[in-house]
């Protein structure tokens, strides 16, 4: 297939490379990032999409997505499919889908879970909103870039599911870090705590698969100086999106709101910038990491 990928940063670049390695003709555009191996560079976003059957976008936020959509939708071939894999606000996802459909295009919002490692390994999970027929067209490509794709409903449903998931993740990571901080104060060995909690009712992904304590549990960013697999700034972004969605829908999310405030403080004032979101443990710990 003729595929264009716009946004070739830490996530978009390996996704594009995996599509190219699978034999697809991939064109790329980014304002700054270099082209991945096997991807042909275009001079502009509009030029990149002109002959594409599928356009994948991976962009930082809703405002940039809307701006890029205004450039590329008029240049796309009717019948082509626009698949946005950014994590953005639900309103932006729905607005871009409406514009695409009005131009005779298919449209999906398909934010991902799995981080940079998942993008490189082709093991991402795609959380998808849009029409079933558009999802069916994109599903084989999801299978190249990831290991799972879930169709959650119409446009915006992918973004809604993603921010709900990451609100849970942010809250449980903070709870996990708090518990290690308490264990430190009580003189409890971290490995013993893990051995108990990971097989008891405190079980969670944050504890069992991504433990924030160095040297405990499976290898995680904690064992690499908290080099980001999922940066604290990105967790703050997702928790902010969850807060915005809660406010616009009238939902009550007190734990999500508190998690957002704690990550904001961590990123802006407590050394969290540039570190993995599990580095939140350093805010609570009383023993060297």
Indicate which residues carry an active-site annotation. 162
List C-alpha distances in Å: 214 to 65, 171, 191. Answer: 37, 20, 10
Helix H segments across the chain?
12-21, 45-49, 62-72, 90-102, 115-121, 132-145, 157-185, 190-197, 205-208, 232-249, 254-269, 281-284
Per the CB < 8 A criterion, the answer to whether 228 and 251 are in contact is no
Please state whether 228 falls in left (phi above 0), alpha (psi between -120 and 50) or beta.
Answer: beta
Q: CA 107, CA 204: separation in Å to the nearest integer?
A: 34
Which DSSP symbol is given to 222? G
Q: CA 175, CA 210: separation in Å to the nearest integer?
A: 13
Residues in the chain: 289
Residue whose pair of structure tokens reads 């308490």 in the numeric block: 182
Q: CA 195, CA 189: separation in Å to the nearest integer?
A: 10
Per the CB < 8 A criterion, the answer to whether 195 and 205 are in contact is no
Q: CA 129, CA 212: separation in Å to the nearest integer?
A: 32
Taking alpha carbons only, the member of 266, 173, 277 closest to residue 227 is: 277
Q: CA 103, CA 128: separation in Å to the nearest integer?
A: 21
CB-CB neighbours of 92 under 10 Å: 22
């Amino acid at each position: 297939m003729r595929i264009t990928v716009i946004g070739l940063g830490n996530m978009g670049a390996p996704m594009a490379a995996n599509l190219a390695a699978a034999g697809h003709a991939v064109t790329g555009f980014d304002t700054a990032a270099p082209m991945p191996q096997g991807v042909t560079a275009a001079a502009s976003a509009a030029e990149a999409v002109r002959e594409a059957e599928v356009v994948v976008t991976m962009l930082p936020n809703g405002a940039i997505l809307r701006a890029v959509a205004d450039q590329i939708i008029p240049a796309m071939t009717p019948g082509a499919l626009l698949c946005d894999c950014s994590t953005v606000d639900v309103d932006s996802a729905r607005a871009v889908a409406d514009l695409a459909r009005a131009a005779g295009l298919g449209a999906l919002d398909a934010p991902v879970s799995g981080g940079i490692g998942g993008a490189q390994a082709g093991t991402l999970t795609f959380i998808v909103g849009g029409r079933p027929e558009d999802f069916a067209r994109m599903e084989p490509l999801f299978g190249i870039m990831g290991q799972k794709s879930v169709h959650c409903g119409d446009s915006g449903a992918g973004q809604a599911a993603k921010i709900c998931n990451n609100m849970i993740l942010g809250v449980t990571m903070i709870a996990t870090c708090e518990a290690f901080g308490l264990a430190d104060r009580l003189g409890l060995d971290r490995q013993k705590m893990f051995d108990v909690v990971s097989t008891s009712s405190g079980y969670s992904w944050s504890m069992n698969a991504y433990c924030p304590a160095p040297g405990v549990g499976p290898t995680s960013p904690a064992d690499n100086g908290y080099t980001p697999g999922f940066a604290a700034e990105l967790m703050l972004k997702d928790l902010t999106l969850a807060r915005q969605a809660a406010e616009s829908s009238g939902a009550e999310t007190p734990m999500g709101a508190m998690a957002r405030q704690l990550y904001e403080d961590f990123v802006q004032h407590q050394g969290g910038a540039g570190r993995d979101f599990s580095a939140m443990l350093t805010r609570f710990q009383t023993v060297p990491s």
